[in-house]
Amino acid sequence: MTHAIEPLPDTTAATCAPLVGRVMARIHGALRSEVLVGLDRLVVCTCAATGPSASQPRLPWRFAELAGADVVHYGSLPVVVVRPLDRDEPVPVLVLERDQIGGALDGLSTLRRLIADRRAAEVPA
């Protein structure tokens, strides 16, 4: 049996989008969390979530701080990770539900291209 759920107001646009400026991609995760990708930074937002998982977003990561991003599996959980330059291990930022993996891969394609463009612009000619 399927239950219809009333959509909650989109507080993400009001709370997190200003942290990245123009939103180039959204990667939706479990519990209404998401990664917002701007032109030069990304933010992980759980503002639209309800209950104890709701929180204020972390300060944005600038693309200059990142080596990349990917989807990895921790056991059976697909998780979006970012790879900061100052760490050896990737940082898990977003748990995905099975039906969100395709959309996440599309958003990660945009994110990877923006990270690569930013890093290429910083390399002296």
Return the domain boundaries, the chain.
13-122
Q: Check whether 32 has a pLDDT greater than 60.
A: yes
The pLDDT value recorded for residue 49 is 55
The pLDDT value recorded for residue 108 is 96
The pLDDT value recorded for residue 57 is 61
Using one digit for the tens of pLDDT, what is the confidence trace for 78-108? 999 999 999 999 999 999 999 999 999 999 9
Using one digit for the tens of pLDDT, what is the confidence trace for 69-84? 999 999 999 999 999 9
Global model pTM greater than 0.85: no
The fold adopted by the segment(s) 13-122 is PH-domain like (2.30.29)
Q: What average pLDDT does range 36-58 have in this prediction?
A: 75
Percent of the chain with pLDDT over 90: 63
Query: Could you give the CA distance from residue 109 to residue 28 in angstroms, rounded to a whole number?
Result: 14
Q: Check whether 6 has a pLDDT greater than 90.
A: no
Give CB contacts under 8 A, 24+ apart, made by 68-72: 68/112, 68/115, 69/108, 69/111, 69/112, 69/115, 70/108, 71/96, 71/101, 71/104, 71/105, 71/108
